[in-house]
Structure 1
């Protein structure tokens, strides 16, 4: 019996009590089922009686007593206690709880998935760094978190398109191209240029691929270095992200919006809504009518489009492509964008609470030998993706970045995350999975497979603890999707790993017999429980984009 099954049983008990006239009020749409803090209080608990007390016009404990009487007759529920002000503590029968192991193994990679967000079509934009250098550590955090969030949302039933937005024009690209040109000609990096070994590498590659380029006039040189330099830099960005386990469904270039008239289309659409006006030779969007601190310029008095106009057109393009909600991940320095983007969505006639979501992430600092890392060996100016992966490996890097809420700044100690000990959270979780595989290999050597399943033999407290922890996984995934918080999956996995390790260390819960002892149905059934733990650990790690090793 899963928590979802139990929630359905409690709701059915409420429905029956209301229909029988034992309780007044309406049946709640959702029943909260939680694990008690103290395992001695039962396998699960619900506060439904406290929620029903006021509409029923009765004390919570009286409501709880009514429901307890009905729940005691439900097959699979062994015990129901009324506790405190009116909580219901529920203990499942061993076979009902144990049945969960077979359900998990049967579901396999699908266990934890739901249809909670079915029908939602989301566009998730993250990273979006311009191709002027390797991915820096701030964007690396978004690469890990964004990809994990996409996986979690998909597991909850949503349709998600991962999108990378870039611009190969503009002032940053021009500085990049001039830097490459000057370096290729043996001259110093311009004062406003980019520094690092990668500049030397790209400049040399472009010059080698274009013989005679250095004999061209400066403007023509710049164009060659802009075109080929951006292409090489973006290819490297894609490659480094792919090596990090992050791929995008769409790479969207802002220049395409300009080329096909997307900005003018957006302004025309906003003008139809009555939200565009002309003043001082410029074209403005009336965002102050919708909560912004000032109106925003779309076209300057010199006829040039603003960056904001590009943002406006890009939002409209996503909505016109059929996305129900546009989710954008931005760094801490973009907090001021929230108000103007929400106002912009309202100007299009959208409800920003429904169609737009801005997630703001805080800074990441890397620490090595007790000191902050400030310089990259290759980039020269900031820590980049390759530095982190070289230091701790891709799995530890991804896990370390996803493990914390994006609302908080984090200091990642590279020495700690590189350790192969249980003090390292990713090692602790991965080792639990590797241990399940070792148990299965040992079981196979005894001829123990998944051919006998007697759930009532899973009667030890450690069995119950592991089963209830496994049963929490679908809810943990759904909550992570709902709150846009993939770090909750990491926290769940660390708890599960601890419960599994304790189960493994319990002599009464062995899969293989001790010494020359006879193989019992309990041993064989616990092979299922071990396999269920392996399934959930692998599924959870997969949601974070982290490997589940067979051996460690």
Structure 2
């Protein structure tokens, strides 16, 4: 019995008491159950009686005793104790606990999936780095976290579309084009341009693809370097992200907003809603009406649209595609951007608290030989996604970047994440999976009939799993669905990583005490088979959890 199943059971007991008239309360939508700190207090505890007491007009312990009496009659419940002011401490039978392992094995890849966000259509935008250089370390963090978040939301029932918005129009792209032109012609790049070997490489590729481009008039030459350079740079970005295991459903070009008239349409909608005005030769959106610190220009006095106008059009485009919620992942330097974006959402008639989420992430510092590596895309002395993968591998890179809360700055130590040792978190988790895989191969070599290959629950006696270390591991396996749901709700993939490390540690402690395979002439017993199912369940959870993070679960290490 998992925590979710117990929660549903307690809720049904409350509903039954209400139906027969012994308890006058509104049946709660959800009942919170938690693992007590002291295992002697049962497998799980709930404060539902304390929360219902005031509504029922009865002392909490009286409500708790009423519910406890009904819970004691439920299948799989061994004991229910009322503690303190009205806590309910529930202890399962060994069979009910052991069933957790059976459920995890038989559910396979589906174990841990929930319907918490069923029916929600989410547009998840992340990375979205301008195509003026390769993917840097900061953007790589968003690639790892964003992809993991997409997997989490999908695992909890949401329909998720991953989107990359790239700026292929504007002053940064003009500077990039001029930098390519200068490098291709053998001149120093402009002072406000982009430097680095990649600029010379792409400049040379443009010349190779378009012979004679350097002989064109400057304005035509810049246009060709802009178009072809962005195309080449973005192709490299997509390839490096794909090699990292991150592929987007949609790559959205800002230029298409300008070409399609989407900006004018968005401004027209805002004007119709009464939030646009003219002043100082420019067109403004009255964002202060919706809590922004100042109004924002949509069209400058020279007639050019602002980036903010493109933001309005882009948001409106996403909503027109049927997305219920727009989630945008940005760097910490965009903190001042949140207020104006919420204001534009409200000005378009949406609820910023329901239709929009903006997640801000902190920087990543790469530590090499004990010193932090400084980065600057302009100066060309930056660390790339490819550099990180080459140094520690894609699995370690993804795990390291997703392991910390996004609002926490990371010091990523190459020495730690590249070594095959237990202090390397990803190695520790992957080793646990490989260790179980080796154990299961050993059982197969010994010809032990476990029923695992067929997923046959009739082959295992789950009541055999009663040792304290077995119980600890069963409880840890049972937590996985709840961890996935909480991580999705809180937009916190790092919770999955930390859970996997705890699970791996719990497994290693179990393995150290509970012998699984028989030695010498020892006979295979029902306990042997039950422990193999428990090991298989643990391996399944490790695989499912690593899959959420986009990390492999190796069979051998």
Q: Above 0.5 in TM-score?
A: yes
Q: Distance in 1 between matches of 2:394 and 2:379?
A: 19
Q: 1:157 matched to which residue of 2?
A: 157
Deviation at 1:449?
4.1
Task: Please tell me whether residue 524 in structure 1 is matched to residue 529 in structure 2.
Answer: yes
Q: 1:261 matched to which residue of 2?
A: 261
Could you give the per-residue CA deviations for residues 312-348 of structure 1, whole angstroms, max 9, x where no partner exists?
0000000011111111111111111111111111111
Could you give the per-residue CA deviations for residues 411-466 of structure 1, whole angstroms, max 9, x where no partner exists?
11111111111101111111111111011101101112432211111111111111
Taking structure 1 as reference, are residues 373 and 404 closer, same or farther at Cα in structure 2, changes over 3 Å only? same
Instruction: Give the SS at the match of 1:91.
Output: strand
Q: Distance in 2 between matches of 1:259 and 1:377?
A: 29
Q: 1:200 matched to which residue of 2?
A: 200
Matches within 5 A, 1:472-487: 472-487=479-494
Q: Distance in 1 between matches of 2:363 and 2:375?
A: 16
Q: Distance in 1 between matches of 2:294 and 2:378?
A: 42
- On the 8 A contact 1:197/1:379 being kept in 2, the answer is no
Q: 1:542 matched to which residue of 2?
A: 547
Deviation at 1:182?
0.9
Structure 1, gaps ≥5 residues long: none
Taking structure 1 as reference, are residues 379 and 461 closer, same or farther at Cα in structure 2, changes over 3 Å only? farther
- On the 8 A contact 1:290/1:347 being kept in 2, the answer is yes
Q: 1:442 matched to which residue of 2?
A: 442
- On the 8 A contact 1:34/1:46 being kept in 2, the answer is yes
Task: Please tell me whether residue 515 in structure 1 is matched to residue 514 in structure 2.
Answer: no
Could you give the per-residue CA deviations for residues 191-210 of structure 1, whole angstroms, max 9, x where no partner exists?
11111111121122222222
Instruction: Give the SS at the match of 1:494.
Output: helix
- On the 8 A contact 1:33/1:46 being kept in 2, the answer is yes
Could you give the per-residue CA deviations for residues 106-158 of structure 1, whole angstroms, max 9, x where no partner exists?
11111111111111001000000111001111111111100000000000000
Task: Please tell me whether residue 498 in structure 1 is matched to residue 508 in structure 2.
Answer: no
- On the 8 A contact 1:113/1:477 being kept in 2, the answer is yes
Instruction: Give the SS at the match of 2:30.
Output: coil
Instruction: Give the SS at the match of 2:365.
Output: strand
Task: Please tell me whether residue 383 in structure 1 is matched to residue 388 in structure 2.
Answer: no
Deviation at 1:382?
2.0
Instruction: Give the SS at the match of 1:367.
Output: strand
Q: Distance in 2 between matches of 1:469 and 1:238?
A: 38
Q: Distance in 2 between matches of 1:303 and 1:376?
A: 32
- On the 8 A contact 2:61/2:85 being kept in 1, the answer is yes
So what's the TM-score if we normalise by structure 1? Answer: 0.97
Deviation at 1:353?
0.7
Taking structure 1 as reference, are residues 24 and 529 closer, same or farther at Cα in structure 2, changes over 3 Å only? same
Deviation at 1:551?
0.7
Q: Distance in 1 between matches of 2:469 and 2:15?
A: 34
- On the 8 A contact 2:133/2:377 being kept in 1, the answer is no
Could you give the per-residue CA deviations for residues 228-262 of structure 1, whole angstroms, max 9, x where no partner exists?
21111101100000011100000000110111100
Task: Please tell me whether residue 148 in structure 1 is matched to residue 155 in structure 2.
Answer: no
Q: Distance in 1 between matches of 2:256 and 2:380?
A: 32
Instruction: Give the SS at the match of 2:470.
Output: helix
Deviation at 1:100?
1.6
Task: Please tell me whether residue 191 in structure 1 is matched to residue 191 in structure 2.
Answer: yes
Could you give the per-residue CA deviations for residues 288-321 of structure 1, whole angstroms, max 9, x where no partner exists?
1111111111111221101100000000000011
Q: 2:343 matched to which residue of 1?
A: 343
Computed over aligned residues only, the root mean square deviation of the Cα atoms, in angstroms, reads 1.6
Matches within 5 A, 1:38-77: 38-77=38-77
Task: Please tell me whether residue 321 in structure 1 is matched to residue 321 in structure 2.
Answer: yes
Deviation at 1:217?
2.8
Taking structure 1 as reference, are residues 395 and 378 closer, same or farther at Cα in structure 2, changes over 3 Å only? farther
Q: 1:131 matched to which residue of 2?
A: 131
Deviation at 1:377?
12
Q: 2:454 matched to which residue of 1?
A: none
Q: Distance in 1 between matches of 2:444 and 2:412?
A: 40
> Which stretch of the first structure deviates more once superposed, 426-435 or 188-197?
188-197
Q: Distance in 2 between matches of 1:502 and 1:473?
A: 18
Q: Distance in 1 between matches of 2:244 and 2:326?
A: 24
Deviation at 1:38?
1.9
Could you give the per-residue CA deviations for residues 393-418 of structure 1, whole angstroms, max 9, x where no partner exists?
11111001101111111111111111
> Which stretch of the first structure deviates more once superposed, 9-18 or 136-145?
9-18
State the aligned residue count. 550
- On the 8 A contact 1:443/1:511 being kept in 2, the answer is no
Instruction: Give the SS at the match of 1:505.
Output: helix
Q: Distance in 2 between matches of 1:5 and 1:285?
A: 51
